[in-house]
Chains A and B, each alone.
Chain A
Amino acid sequence: MSTRHSIRCRPGTAYVFLLGTALIVTAAGFAAVEASMSEVANHRLRAAADEARLLAQTGLEVAMARIAGDPSWATSLGAGGTIVSNEAVGRGTITVVVTDPVDSDPAVGDFDPFLLRSSATVGSAVRIAEVELQRRWTPLPATQTAVHAAGGVTFNNGTGITADRAVSSNTGASATSASIGAPVEVVTSASGSMYSGGLVEGVPAKTMPAGVIAQYAALATTITRGSLSAGNINRRLLSPAVNPYNASLNALGIYVIDLGNNDMEIKSSRIFGTLVIRNAGIVKLKEGLVWEPAFVGLPSLLVEGQLWIEGNTDNLIEGMVGRNLNPASTPYKGASNSVPADTYPSRLEGLFYATGPITVKQPRPALTGTLVSGAGVLFEDAYSVTYDTRVEQWPAPGFRTGPEYVMTPGSWKRIVP
C-alpha cells in the first residue's frame, strides 16, 4: 500500500522544471536575436545617414552643373523652383530647389543671390545641404576705361582730356599740339609727345561688345522719328513712367528710335533710361542734358552710327524748358515736386556707346561713366571723364561675360530634419 501511495504522489516537477528552463532559454534567445537585429538596423541607419549626407552634397553639384550649362536655367525651373527633382543616385534620391531671397523669383534680378537647398533621402534617412550663391559678371575690359575706341584715338590742336581711367585704343593714338592729362593705352603705338598722363604701348586689344544694338532694340519700346519735334529730342522728360511721344511705356526705360540715316540733336532734356538709336547719321548731345540709366546695370545710350558731344555750358533749367522734369513718377536723385522751378547740372552718367566714330566737339556735357566707340574717337576740344565704378561693378548685358557663381561666405549649411 505504501508503495502505491508514493507512486500516486509523484508530482512531475522535473518535467515542469525543464519546460520552464526551455522557455527561459528560448526567451533569452529571442532577446539576443532582437538585440542583434537592432544593432544591425542601427548600423544600417547610420550608414544611410552618412550616405544621405554625401548625396545632399551631390545634389548641389548636379544643380550647379545644370545652372552652369544652361544660361536660361532661371526661367526653366520646375514647380516650386525645382532644378533636380527626386532623381536616383546610388541607393538614394536627390531633390534640389532654387529660391531667390530678394524677390522670390530666381528669374528676376541679374544680380540677386539665390539659394540652393538639396535634400537627399536614403532609406528612412534624410539630410539637407544648403548654400547661397551670387552671380558675378565680368565687365568687358573696354568698359573699364574712361574712353575706349576699337579704332584710333586722335587728340587735335591744343585740346586735351582729363580722366581717372585710361583712354585706350585697340589700334594707336595721335596727338597734335594737345595736352593729355589722362593715361593713354594703345595696342600699337602713339605719335606726338603730349601724353603727360602716361602712355603705354603694346597693351592687349580689348574685346568689343557685339550685337548690343539689336539686343537692346528687342527689349525697347519704339518711338517713331516722326513723333519727335523736327527729328530731335528737345525740352522733354523720358523715363520708364513718362513717354512724351506716345502712350507706350517701357518698364526698364529702354526706348528705340530709327533715324533712317538722319541726324538728331538731343538737348535741354532729362533722360532717365536707355536710348537705342538705330540707323543714325550723327547723334549730337547738346547743352542742358541730364542723362542717366533708369537701372544700375543698363547702358544710357546706344547709337548705331556716329556720336558727337557738342554742348555749351548751359544747365538744364525747368523754367526755360517750361516743364517739370522731376514729377513723382520720375524723381531726380530721390527728389520730386510738381512745379517747374528746378535747375539741374548738365551731365551724362553711365555707359555711352556708338558703333561709329565718337567726336568730342565741345567740353559739355561732362561725363561720369564711359565712352565706347566701335570705330575711332576724336577730341577736338577739352573733355573730362570721371569713371563710374558702377559700370564695371554691375556691368550691363552685352558689355559683360559670365556669369560665374560664387558662394556667399558663411552661407553653407547642413541640416538634419
Chain B
Amino acid sequence: MIRRRAFSMIEATMSIVLLSGVFLASAEVVRMVGLSRAIGEERARALAVGQDLLQEIAVLPLGTHPVAVALDNTPVSRAAFATVYEYSGLVDSPPRSRDGAALDGYSGWTRRITITTLNPETLARSLGPGTGVAQVLVEVSRGNRVASRMSIIRTSSWDAVRFDARAFQSALTFTNPPVSTPPELP
C-alpha cells in the first residue's frame, strides 16, 4: 500500500486560516474606513453649519453687553436679531435658518453660542461690563458628541469703521490733504 502524504490538507487548512485572517482584517479596515469617512463627513457638516451661523453673526454690529444672558432661549426665528449680543446663549436645535426654517438633514444636531466679553489688550476673559470686544464661540454637536467648535472675535471699534464706511462711501466728501500736513501731535 502506498502511503499518501496529507500535504494538500494542511495546505488547505493553512489557506483557510490565512484567508480568514485577511478577510477579518479587511473587514476591520472597511469598518474603520467607513467610520473615518463618517466622522470626516460629520465634521465637515458640523463645520459648514457652524460657519454658516458665524457668518450670519459676523455681519451684525456687536451691540451692548447684556445685563443678564439668557441661557436657554430657543427662538424659532432669528430674523429680528440686530446685534451680536442678542445671540448670547442661543441653543439652536435642530439648526434653523435665520428665518426659522429647519435645515434639512440636521435632525438631532444642536448649535450653541457662547459670547464672552474679552479684555482688548490681553484677549483674556473680562468679568466687568462690556469692553467692546467679545468672543463668539459656536459649538456644534450631534447627540451628545461635540463635532466642532469655532470662534471669532467681534469688536464695536470695527463696527464703527464698517458702518461709518458706508456713509463715507456714499458721501465721498473726504479728500487727502494738500502738500503739507503736520506730524502727529500729542
**Nearest chain B residue, comparing its CB with the CB of A1:** B2
Q: Verify B30–A110 contact, CB threshold 8 A.
A: no
Which secondary structure dominates where chain A touches chain B? helix
Q: Verify B182–A61 contact, CB threshold 8 A.
A: no
User: Interface residues of A toward B: which range?
Assistant: 35 or more
Contact among A47, A297, A397 with B177 in the assembled complex (CB-CB below 8 Å): A297
Contact among B29, B36, B121, B181 with A297 in the assembled complex (CB-CB below 8 Å): B181
Q: Verify B18–A39 contact, CB threshold 8 A.
A: no
Interface residues of A in 36-85 (CB under 8 A from B): 36-37, 39-40, 43-44, 46-47, 50-51, 54-55, 57-58, 60-62, 64-69, 72, 74-75
Size of interface on B: residues with Cβ below 8 Å to A: 67
Produce 1/0 per residue, A21-45, CB < 8 A to B: 1100110110011001101100110
Contacts of B60 in A (CB 8 A): none
**Nearest chain B residue, comparing its CB with the CB of A113:** B176
Produce 1/0 per residue, A289-330, CB < 8 A to B: 000001111100000000000000000000000000000000
**Nearest chain A residue, comparing its CB with the CB of B122:** A87
Of B6-14, B67-75, B105-113, the stretch lying at the interface with chain A is B6-14
C-alpha spacing A295/B15, complex, angstroms: 95
Is the CB of A134 closer than 8 A to any CB of chain B?
Answer: yes
C-alpha spacing A18/B40, complex, angstroms: 35
C-alpha spacing A65/B70, complex, angstroms: 26
Q: Would A407 and B162 be within 8 Å (CB), given that A12-B11, A62-B120 are in contact?
A: yes
Q: Verify A15–B11 contact, CB threshold 8 A.
A: yes
Is the CB of A394 closer than 8 A to any CB of chain B?
Answer: yes
C-alpha spacing A296/B161, complex, angstroms: 25
Contacts of A65 in B (CB 8 A): 120, 132-133, 155-158
Q: Verify B178–A409 contact, CB threshold 8 A.
A: no
Is the CB of B81 closer than 8 A to any CB of chain A?
Answer: no
Produce 1/0 per residue, B33-75, CB < 8 A to A: 1001101110110010001001000100000000000000000
Q: Verify B155–A107 contact, CB threshold 8 A.
A: no
Contacts of B15 in A (CB 8 A): 14-15, 18
Q: Would A110 and B181 be within 8 Å (CB), given that A22-B22, A39-B37, A54-B54 are in contact?
A: yes
Q: Verify B157–A68 contact, CB threshold 8 A.
A: yes
Of the A-B pairs whose beta carbons lie under 8 Å apart in the complex, a sample of 8, sorted by A's number, is A10-B8, A19-B18, A28-B26, A29-B30, A64-B157, A66-B120, A297-B182, A409-B168
